[in-house]
Structure 1
């Protein structure tokens, strides 16, 4: 097998650099990044992947530091120059500094690559700002450049130097002229904790906040009273957004099933590979390893008697409670019925009446009709049902270990697998309620601590079934002791197997002097994807959560999924999104400052420049793929990359503030200090060439981008 490709990124701590690093790591690159000595303040964008990166100190203003850094590298295949002073407005205040970094700095990087790694392919980040006072609309690779600010002029210098070096030295250099750039099924179970009481619950997303069917297509709620489990810790749940599912590929839900989890997510939702690299759900394949967490530690707040816990477990297994409190319990095992009758008497002083009735298959089913305490049964019904599906009551989730075991015992005797002759009690749980199975596994994690293997099976009538085969590291030792007991009696292998249910292969191994293994050596990796599928029944609503850690554990088992975009608050997109978030949360004056050193949001106002300026805004996570694709071609070339959709800054304000239910005109002021001395014309990309040659397409539209930016800023402020 050949070595991994190696890439060097300047500007790796920025928005585009961090997304590009994630993208390349996913493709198994060795990724190197150049950082300034002072840029450690801005490592937040790469903190989650920093352990997979190799960072070297260098400054584009200092050619010696560049050479010293590059001398430490060998066999670099691709260089991506993304570093720049990238604020057009700021470039008027510091034009020389902007030219030094953005223009001359880019040339210094090209010189070092030409002298020390001439075979490396080079990507130069150009910008739509170079079109400036535009000559035509839309703009493509043949549109004349006419820069309208020092930043654009510096970028154009670097762009032209790249073309000169390409032609004069035969270097592989491609210019990317990028325009401005920047969910989970409703039934997905998550583990939450009430901030005031500390009580843990397992809820479907739609039960945290339920959208109005006749309401807006996108509905949003700020959350202040709940924390959510992110696989390692309880973290703040800041925002819940419900979106009515669109009939497009990005919003198609995909079930991803590993041995330790099953989750239903949209194609465009970010999941994590095992090493922390983000990957779109559509790209997750069988055999890949995903990031998993663990269940929370034992929580003992409530008091439940062992008898009531066992009774509740039996009701969840084979019981039924109507909204009026009428209840029954169906089971054909007379011993189990007798135990249930005793528990019902002890717990609620109730009585039972036995009924027998014919099933549709010609058999007979025995059923107890419960009487004696209707109000208690109504209470139980509210505890064990949600939306017609069974669940583990919150009282049990927060009870002492002994009560949790009693509930598991009650459920297992009615609905657990009993035919398997394993020596441990809990062997397999199977249910059509993912909420219930997640609760059962939660209890297992805090009691027997058995390992498990989850499988989702599609079903036409009941959507599907979730099953968890439970394993035990101690079971083989118990079986070894059992075999040795019969060996002492000179019992044959065949008879021992018939009596105990233990395989003759295992018996033969012990008889031949072997010993039991306490670890399942042949079991496959639990974090490996074993199945993916698109169910024909798709959810009506999709949910997006904003958490303080940027991730949360979702579905059955312990798969971790992601949420949130990155861009400095000096950019107009983030400034507007941040202001909308402040207004939403009723923050009068913000902590973060603008380029004038004043609060971005002050006295419920945000100050902006020209609201009529038009831009083509897209999502950086979409655009980094185009950078990579340019360097996979046989010949270098220049490409325009953008959405082809243009909006004014005023439209950006309207979209951001209306998204949180507010009128932007009450919060936005035009300040002459933020109006550029010269404004560019309407910038809108004609990316036909990139689409045709690179096969690239933008995936995130304007409304989705603004939503992501606002959501991320609300989470930042909570």
Structure 2
């Protein structure tokens, strides 16, 4: 039997990392995930993998490391010798990045550089995936953003992602590495972090429906995003590393919806009128906001055959129902 492929995932405890780990394990990979050392384990999204069958569990390993610490990354690269590396870790909250800009840059921008430079120095011939973000487009004039659309980042997070994007291309062009960027537009799921607006909405709707909460306070309801399902998007990540040539791709649905649309869809799914429960709070406005993003995913469909399966209304309903179930289980 051929040797199982080894994949190394940073950010494995996050939304995307957990879905990607499931996908790779289902394809027979050995999956290694990097986690940071802390006093409490933040592994809730991957606990079901750790508790699964003995065979699958043996193909799933967690190792301690940190994107701000090159020595730990180099040690992991040397011991694992991965065939594929997925760099998903970041300080990924846009609003928080205004409050901790230096830390955001250290993890999100320089973290990518540390991984790539570690691969180069150690001669690790893995294929490398960099998680880039539609936030890099920022204040864009394009009706739909594609691979050639210029960037205008509007937050420390987005600026850090632009650095990571270009350093990935730099290492590809300078050293012949198979290194690619997946510029993913907003993608959500029941595993989305509770501080992100979509999950904040779905949790509030569940709590209001259950009589545990009276109001939902939000910021800019007019911001428009291209929202898809994270489970679909991790498949695109994997497909990018299976191509003959390393290329960058934008990944999204091609549809745009406002925060107001998300709110209305969520409340409607439980038979409530959102206007009775939602209030605007200026605290939730960003210093500089991105008003509109919409993906042109034509290249991904044309070259890889990738397209999203879960529709917007299905995604919102899935998230609300999952939060209702979680409340019942408590």
Return the TM-score normalized by structure 1: 0.44
Q: Distance in 2 between matches of 1:694 and 1:113?
A: 26
Gaps of 5+ in 1: 183-563, 589-603
Partners of 1:688 and 1:60 lie apart in 2 by 33
Pair 1:694 & 2:319 matched: no
Match of 2:233 in 1: 623
Instruction: Please say if residues 87 and 112 of structure 2, whose CA atoms lie closer than 8 Å, have aligned partners that are also in contact.
Output: yes
Deviation at 1:40, TM superposition (A): 5.3
Q: CA deviation at 1:39?
A: 8.3
Structure 2: how far apart are the matches of 1:571 and 1:648?
A: 15
What does residue 55 of structure 1 align with? 62
Partner of 2:73: 66
Q: How does 1:201-600 map to 2 (within 5 A)?
A: 565-588=190-213
Q: Number of aligned pairs?
A: 321
Note if contact 2:12-2:34 (Cα within 8 Å) is conserved in structure 1: yes
How far off is 1:38 after superposition? 2.0
State the match for 2:249 in structure 1: 639
Q: Which runs of 5+ in 2 are unaligned?
A: 51-56
TM-score, length of structure 2 as denominator length: 0.95
Question: Is 2:106 aligned against 1:97?
Answer: no
Structure 1 residue corresponding to 2:115, chosen from 109, 114, 126: 109
Distance 2:117 2:90 in 1: 17
- 1:1-40 paired onto structure 2 within 5 Å: 1-38=1-38
Mapped contact 2:265–2:313 kept (Cα < 8 A): yes
SS in 2 for 1:42: coil
| Aligned 8 A contact 1:8 1:80 in 2 | yes
Q: Is the 8 A contact 2:77 2:124 kept in 1?
A: no
SS in 2 for 1:68: helix
Cα deviation code 1:604-634 (max 9, x no counterpart)? 1122110000011100000011001100011
Equivalent of 1:671 in 278, 281, 284: 281
The correspondence for 1:171, drawn from 177, 199, 216, is: 177
1:111 deviates by 1.2
Q: Secondary structure at the match of 1:44?
A: coil
Q: Of 147, 158, 161, which aligns to 1:155?
A: 161
Structure 2 counterpart of 1:360: none
Please state whether the residue corresponding to 1:43 is helix, strand or coil. Answer: coil
1:654-691 Cα offsets, whole Å, 9 max, x none, are 01011111111222121111101111131011000000
Question: What do the CA deviations read for 1:198-257 (whole angstroms, capped 9, x no partner)?
Answer: xxxxxxxxxxxxxxxxxxxxxxxxxxxxxxxxxxxxxxxxxxxxxxxxxxxxxxxxxxxx
Runs of 4 or more, structure 1, over 6 Å off, are: none
Larger relative strand fraction: 1
Whose helix proportion is higher, 1 or 2?
Answer: 2
Shift of 1:86: 0.7
RMSD: 1.2
State whether residues 573 and 652 of structure 1, in contact with CA within 8 Å, keep that contact through their aligned partners in structure 2: yes
Once residues 639 and 169 of structure 1 are traced to their aligned partners in structure 2, the CA distance between those partners, rounded to angstroms, is 20
- Structure 2 CA distance for aligned equivalents of residues 626 and 98 of structure 1: 25
Distance between the aligned counterparts of 1:41 and 1:674, measured in 2? 29
Aligned-partner Cα distance in 1 for 2:78–2:307: 37
Distance in 2, matches of 1:170 and 1:118, equals: 12
Distance 2:4 2:124 in 1: 19
**CA displacement at 1:100 relative to structure 2:** 0.7
